[in-house]
Structure 1
Amino acid sequence: MTLRAVFKGWVDHYFSDEEAVILLVVLVLGFTAVIFLGRMLAPFLTALVIAFLLQGAVSWLERRHVPHLLAVTLVFLGFIGMLLALAFILMPLIWNQLVGLVQETPRMFASGQQLLDDLQERYPQLITPDQIQNWIAVAGREMTQFGQRALTLSLASLGNVLALIIYLVLVPILVFFLLKDRETLVGFTLSLLPQKRTLMTRIWNEMDDQIANYVRGKFIEIIIVGTVAFLTFAYFGLPYSALLAVLVGFSVLVPYIGAAVATLPVAAVAGFHFGMTDEFLYVVIAYGIIQALDGNVLVPILFSEAVNLHPVSIIVAVLFFGGIWGFWGIFFAIPLATLLKALVYAWPRGIKRHRQEETVAPLTEE
């Protein structure tokens, strides 16, 4: 069998149906627009994600016979209130703690050096002075590079003030109209697609509830884990509790890897603040309990309807989509991986099943 015959057979298998070709074009155009126009359309895409998150609350109110416009207004006002609380309460607190952490870094560096010297005195056969000097030199270079990155980021952020103002104005406006005119916008989008879209409808119906449950569930998980972590750290008197809690909350976006990465700063701050004492051990145990409850209790409750994916698939999806789209790529890595899985399973099988249904339908009518 020649290569041309193999290629022709592959094309006939996957693209002999008109819907398959249309679906491929829609997917290619969608991904291309996001990749090349993502920065330009960032306010709209951000508003689209937020509206998607808030639509569940609007639907919940409408099911309780609240008029559509009133439901949208109530949910939108709640969103604005949360945004204002984030801007005027949480962000200044996190910024002040971040500044304090940067100012405290030299003292932590000196404490770490003293700890290494003590270890060298206790275990001279395991840790040599040359190793200590190498570690200190590496840590010094990393601290210098971190300082340079922080300075570069702070200088670059000065030019982004206008962009931030645009976000703060445009995104809420877009969110309101996306919620208010959802039916009109969805109808217009569907009018641009071909009338024959059985395969696309089947895949969308399979993915709609799963993506909605995942996105809202992940948002709820971030809030719960971050809040519990903050209360726990504050109870033990751990400094920079809000900053560490935000880090722990967002660490749930990256399965497996996020929890391990967030452990390092928590353990480091607790170690420098408490030393190798019982308080340090209590903080580490409490943090481990939070991660265990998140993985074994909270995640199964929030994502009971999610499609199971192999851990390797999840990690590859996080690396791939995170490398393309950054934060939003990491956030939507699992839904996108689930979408690809649904496409792989539904594409050829969906076409064959659709053809069989079209063949059997006339016979049944007769």
Structure 2
Amino acid sequence: MLHDPPTTSAPEKRSDAARLQTGALVIIAFAVVLFLLVQARFVLISLATAIILFSLTSDVINFIARRRIGPFHVPNRLASIAALLLIALALITLTSILLAQVNTVLVTTLSYTERAPSAVASLFSWLGSDSQMAILNALQSIDVSSYVRTAASQATNITQGTVLVILFVGFLFAERIWFQTKLKNFVADDVQAERVGKIIQSIIHRVNYYLLVKTVISAITGAMVYVLARSFGLELATAIGIITFVLNFIPNIGSIVATGLIALVAHVQIGDATITLFIFVVAGIIQFINGSVIDPMLMGRALRLSSFGIILSLAFWGAVWGIPGMFLSVPIMVMLLVVCSHVPQLRPFAILLSREGLPESEKMLEQPIDRDLFGNEGR
């Protein structure tokens, strides 16, 4: 028996068309945003770095402004100027150190060009002589000098980025005193403006805590790796320590790359597989204890980020902004987690981004933060 197909009413057709149109607009908007992120990557990376430095320094400014010398206290403007000068000095110093170490690594790399392929190929001797010879030929075909020249030319972007970051931070400090007024006028609701302000403070506090803990752990790890490299007389001990410190800000992947790097340098310079294996194991133990035991213990529940979400964020921002995007992936993810937690329509994304599926609740936002980064009471 034949049945007539169900008919679709006009309202249902309009609803389906509206959903289809909304989906198409979302895809187009995402494509446009992605295009802008890639095309303006240099400016956006500098701006994101400046915002993070500004938020980190805001706690320092508040700490300085709360200090009293008898009946006097440090004016907010003076604290802002002092913080800006310290940031500029620190960035210029770090840039100089980084460029000096990059230059050392590039010069040493050129000196290792001839013996490095045979040393690396010897690591695969257990595969047989044919495989070892094939790997050796493949390594010798790589034009290392061209890569070195490219890396040297790209290093100049660091200086330009440093200057741009300092300018951005300066303008942010200049606008700092008017931020609350602008927020109230923008939202046009005092209650909602206060809520948005609390969300921003929650983002700042969590990002700052993450950066503080990560800096301490990375510095300890870099120092231990430097001592390890120096004890075996590696020429690039200082550079390896600094690179280890920097790479540890890249979640998961950075520690693996840093461990492989010191093992590679040791094998190229020393040429002893046993010593190389020992250095690799010791460096791996250092990274494991600091990164997988001490780091999570200090972080506690401050971030509550999903490990899978961190990998996705790392892959996405690495593809969009390259290596700088990898460094910024976790702070950006923290920001997204907090924002999505307090927007009802986006809360499902916060559940996916959080580690236990328990993102920050509205009650947690109303609770005061017992201590700031310097141990002082306050929100």
Tell me the TM-score normalized by structure 1. Answer: 0.71
User: Residues 180-209 of structure 1: CA distance to partner in whole angstroms, max 9, x if unpaired?
Assistant: 541224533553345374775564454332
Confirm whether residue 300 of structure 1 aligns to residue 296 of structure 2. yes
Amino acid at match of 1:136: L
From the superposition, tell whether residues 166 and 285 of structure 1 become closer, same or farther in structure 2 (CA, over 3 Å). Answer: closer
Q: Which residue of 2 aligns with 1:137?
A: 137
Aligned-residue offset at 1:316? 0.8
Q: Which amino acid aligns with 1:64?
A: R
SS of the equivalent of 1:207 reads helix
Say which structure, 1 or 2, has more relative contact order (CA 8 Å, 6+ apart).
Answer: 1
Assess if the C-alpha contact under 8 Å between 1:101 and 1:240 holds in 2.
no
Match of 1:75 among 78, 83, 91: 83
Within-5 A mapping of 1:221-260: 221-260=217-256
Stretches of structure 1 lacking an aligned partner (at least 5 in a row):
12-26, 355-366
Q: Is 1:179 equivalent to 2:173 in the alignment?
A: yes
Residue 191, structure 1, aligned to residue 171, structure 2: no
Q: What's the CA shift string for 1:23-55, capped at 9, x where partnerless?
A: xxxx99998875654434555444333222322
| Higher mean displacement: 333-342 or 36-45 | 36-45
Distance 1:40 1:200, change over 3 A: same
Residue 315 of structure 1 and its aligned partner are, at CA, apart by: 0.6
Aligned residue in 1 for 2:103:
95
- 1:148-198, Cα deviation, whole Å (9 max, x unpaired): 3333444x55xx95x766555454344244335412245335533453747
More helix by share: 1
Tell me how far apart the structure 2 counterparts of residues 6 and 108 of structure 1 sit (CA, whole Å). Answer: 62
204 and 275 in structure 1: CA distance in 2 versus 1, 3 angstrom threshold: same
Aligned length: 325
Long gaps (5+) in structure 2: 1-7, 22-29, 69-73, 348-360, 363-379
Per-residue deviation, 1:224: 3.5
Deviation at 1:7, TM superposition (A): 8.5
TM-score by length of 2: 0.69
Task: Give the 3-state SS of the residue equivalent to 1:100 in structure 2.
Answer: helix
CA distance in 2, matches of 1:173, 1:114: 50
What is the rounded CA distance, in whole Å, between the counterparts of 2:47 and 2:220 in structure 1?
A: 27
Which runs of structure 2 are paired with 1:196-345 in the superposition (5 Å)? 197=192, 200=196, 203-276=199-272, 279-345=275-341
CA distance in 2, matches of 1:244, 1:182: 38
2:358 is aligned to none
Q: 1:239 to 1:333 in 2, by over 3 A?
A: same
Mapped contact 1:98–1:243 kept (Cα < 8 A) = no
Distance of aligned partners of 1:33 and 1:192 in 2 relative to their CA distance in 1, 3 Å threshold: farther
Amino acid corresponding to residue 227 of structure 1 in structure 2: A
| Residue aligned with 1:48, SS | helix
AA at the equivalent of 2:189: Q
Residues in 2 aligned to 1:181 and 1:285: alpha-carbon distance in whole angstroms:
50
Contact 1:217 1:303 in 2 (8 A): yes
Give the drift of 1:320: 0.8
- Which amino acid in structure 2 is aligned with residue 184 of structure 1? W
Instruction: State the shift of 1:9 in Å.
Output: 9.6
What is the alpha-carbon root mean square deviation over aligned residues? Answer: 4.0
Q: What's the offset of the Cα at 1:113?
A: 4.8
CA gap of 1:178–1:337, structure 2 versus 1, over 3 A, is closer
2:62 aligns with one of 47, 59, 62:
59
* Counterpart secondary structure, 1:71: helix
- CA change 1:112–1:41 in 2 (3 A) is closer
Q: Work out the CA distance in 2 between the residues paired with 1:200 and 1:149.
A: 47
Report deviation, 1:88: 4.3
Take 2:99 and 2:325, find their aligned partners in 1: how far apart are those partners? 23
Q: Distance in 1 between matches of 2:180 and 2:322?
A: 27
> Is the CA contact (8 Å cut-off) linking 2:263 and 2:277 kept in structure 1?
no
CA gap of 1:227–1:338, structure 2 versus 1, over 3 A, is same
SS at structure 2 position matched to 1:229: helix
The structural deviation recorded for 1:242 is: 2.4
TM-superposed CA distance for 1:291, in Å, is 0.5
Give distance in 2, aligned partners of 1:301 and 1:75: 30
- Kept in 1, the 8 Å contact 2:115–2:268? The answer is no
Matched, 1:105 2:113: yes
Distance 1:257 1:283, change over 3 A: same
